[in-house]
Amino acid sequence: VRPLSERTEHYRRVAAEIAPELERLADETEQHDEFPWEAFHLLNDHGLMKLTLPKEWGGEGMSATDYFPVYLDVAKVSGAIRMLIHGQNGIWRMIEGFGSDAQKNEWLPKQVAGAVFAGAITEPGGTGRGMTTTATRDGDEWVINGEKQLISFAGEAILTHVFAATGRDEAGAVLTCFLVPKDVPGQIMTRMPPSMGCRGSTHYHIRYDNVRVPHSSILGKQGDGLEIALRTMLDISRISIAYAGLAISQRAFELAVDFAKNRVTLGKPIASRQAIRLSIAEMATDLYALDSALHDACRRFDAGESIIAEAAATKLLGLETAGRVTDRALRIHGGVGYLESHKIERHYRDARALWFEEGTAEIQKFVIAEQVLQHGLTF
Ligand SMILES: Cc1cc2nc3c(=O)[nH]c(=O)nc-3n(C[C@H](O)[C@H](O)[C@H](O)COP(=O)(O)OP(=O)(O)OC[C@H]3O[C@@H](n4cnc5c(N)ncnc54)[C@H](O)[C@@H]3O)c2cc1C
C-alpha cells in the first residue's frame, strides 16, 4: 500500500462519508437519465470539484499523485458521477493555462462556485485538423459557423470552449479556441439520444449559426487552439480516463469476487473452481499493471516531464483493462449479471464510454508509435 498525503487521506474520508448518498443518487440517475445536479452539488459542496485547481483560484492545488486516489473512490460509484468529477477537475486548465487576467478573473471564480464548463471539439464532419467549424473575423468580432456533436454537459454549462478553424495550413485547419457563453444568439443546443452507459451524462449537438463573439473571447492567441487542446488538457485527461478504467475495473473485480464466493454450484462456491480462479487471477494481474502504470505516469507528470506517450499508453491500457475486466466479471455472474438488478450490468455498459473519451484506441496507438519512433522508449 502506497503512503498517501494527509490531504489525500482527508478527501478520501470525505468521499467515503458521502459514498452511500452518491450510490443512491447514481441509482436514481440511472433511472431518469438527467444531469445529476444533486450529485454535482454534493461533490461541489464537499470540495471534490476543485481538488486540482490551483490555490490562488480557491482550489486545493493537488498534484496528480495526490488527487487521483480520491477521484478513484468517486469514480467507482458510476460512470455519470465519474464524468462530473473528471470534467470539473480538468477543464479549468485551459483558461488557467492560456487565459488573460480578465478571462481568469471572469470565469475561474464561477467554476469554484459550482458552474459547469464544456469543451467542444468533436464534429459530425471532421475533427482536429479536419475541423469544418469556422470562425471569421468581422471588425472587433468573430462569427462562428458549423456543428459539434457529443459535447458533454454543454446544455448545463455556462461556458463552452469552442474550437474553430480560423485558417488553413498544409496540415489542415488552424484552430483557435473561443470562450462562448451560454445563450448567445445562434448557438443552438440539442440533447443527443440516450447513451449506452454513463446514464445521466448529457451530450449535446451544437449548431453555430452566425454566432458573434467579441475578439476578447479568444483564449490565448489566434491559432493557439491545437496547443491549448493538446498541451493543457489532453495528457492529464487521458490519465483521468485511464483512472476511470481502473475504478470500473476495481469495482467489477470486487463484485465478481463477492459473487464467486457466494454462488454455490454442485455443492461448492464457484470461487473454488479452477476456471473461475483463472479469471480472477487474470483480472487481478490487469489491475496491478494498470495501477502501476498510472502511478508512474502521475509521478512523471508531477515532476514536469512530457508524458505524451505515457498518457496515451495508460489510456489504451485503461480502456482495454476495463473492457477485459468488466467482461470477465459479467461472465462470472452468470445470467443474473445480465439483469439490471446486478450492478455489474451498469459497470459493463459504463466501461464502453472509455473507448471514445479523449480519443479512440487507434488514436492512442498513433500517438504512442509517433512518440517512440521519434524519441525511443521513454518508459
Ligand atoms: C461519453 C463521451 C463523451 C464525450 N465528450 C466529448 C466532449 O465533451 N467534447 C468533445 O469535443 N468530444 C466529446 N466526445 C467525443 C469523443 O472525443 C470522440 O467520439 C472520439 O474522439 C472519436 O471521434 P469520433 O467520434 O469523431 O470518431 P471518428 O473520428 O469518426 O472515428 C471512427 C472510427 O474510425 C477510426 N479512425 C478515425 N480516423 C482514423 C484514421 N485517420 N486512421 C485510422 N482509423 C481512424 C477511429 O479510431 C474510430 O474507430 C465524447 C464521446 C463520448 C463517447
**Among 90, 53, 54, which residue's Cα sits nearest to residue 75?**
90
**pLDDT above 80 for 70:** yes
On whether the CB atoms of residues 57 and 104 are closer than 8 A, the answer is yes
Band (20; pLDDT cuts 50, 70, 90): very high
On whether the CB atoms of residues 230 and 166 are closer than 8 A, the answer is no
Query: How far is the centre of ligand 1, averaged over its atoms, from the C-alpha of 151 (Å)?
Result: 11
For residue 162, the Cα-to-chain-centroid distance in whole angstroms is: 18
pLDDT tens track for 230-251: 888 899 999 999 999 999 999 9
**Among 85, 280, 138, which residue's Cα sits nearest to residue 271?**
280
**pLDDT above 80 for 362:** yes
pLDDT tens track for 177-226: 999 999 999 999 999 999 999 999 999 999 999 999 999 999 999 999 99
Backbone φ, ψ for residue 91 (5° rounding): -70, -25
User: Average per-residue pLDDT in the chain?
Assistant: 96
Q: 353 CB under 6 A from ligand 1?
A: yes
- Residue with the nearest Cα to atom 12 of ligand 1? 122
Query: How far is the centre of ligand 1, averaged over its atoms, from the C-alpha of 258 (Å)?
Result: 35
- Residue with the nearest Cα to atom 6 of ligand 1? 151
DSSP string covering 197-266: SSTT--EEEEEEEEEEEEGGGEESSTT-HHHIIIIIIIHHHHHHHHHHHHHHHHHHHHHHHHHHHH-EET
pLDDT of amino acid 2: 84
pLDDT tens track for 295-317: 999 999 999 999 999 999 999 99
pLDDT of amino acid 126: 80
In Å, what is the CA distance from 240 to each residue of 40, 64, 90, 151? Answer: 18, 9, 9, 18
pLDDT of amino acid 127: 82
| Ligand 1: nearest atom to the Cα of 127 | 26
| Ligand 1: nearest atom to the Cα of 201 | 1
Q: 357 CB under 6 A from ligand 1?
A: yes
**pLDDT above 90 for 43:** yes
Q: Considering the chain, what percentage of its residues have pLDDT values greater than 90?
A: 96
On whether the CB atoms of residues 187 and 211 are closer than 8 A, the answer is yes
Question: For a pocket test of ligand 1, which of 81, 117, 122 has the largest count of ligand atoms closer than 8 A to its C-beta?
Answer: 122
**pLDDT above 80 for 13:** yes
Measured between alpha carbons, how far is 27 from 20 in angstroms, rounded to an integer?
11
Produce one character per residue of 288-327: b if its CB has 16 or more CB atoms within 10 Å, e if not: eebbebbbebbebbeeeeebbbbbbbbbbbbbbbbbbbbe
Query: How far is the centre of ligand 1, averaged over its atoms, from the C-alpha of 365 (Å)?
Result: 14
Q: 254 CB under 6 A from ligand 1?
A: no
| Ligand 1: nearest atom to the Cα of 359 | 21
Q: 127 CB under 6 A from ligand 1?
A: yes
Give SS3 for 133: coil
**pLDDT above 80 for 1:** no
pLDDT of amino acid 32: 95
Q: Considering the chain, what percentage of its residues have pLDDT values greater than 70?
A: 100
- Residue 358 is among the residues annotated as catalytic for this protein: yes
Q: 122 CB under 6 A from ligand 1?
A: yes
Q: 363 CB under 6 A from ligand 1?
A: yes
Amino acid identity of 201?
S
pLDDT of amino acid 245: 98
Q: 152 CB under 6 A from ligand 1?
A: yes
- CA torsion, ordered 166, 168, 169, 174, to nearest 10 deg: 40
pTM (2 d.p.): 0.96
Residue matched to cell numbers 439520444: 193
pLDDT tens track for 248-298: 999 999 999 999 999 999 999 999 999 999 999 999 999 999 999 999 999
On whether the CB atoms of residues 204 and 325 are closer than 8 A, the answer is no
- Residue with the nearest Cα to atom 32 of ligand 1? 360
Out of 96, 156, 345, 358, the active site residue is: 358
pLDDT of amino acid 379: 84
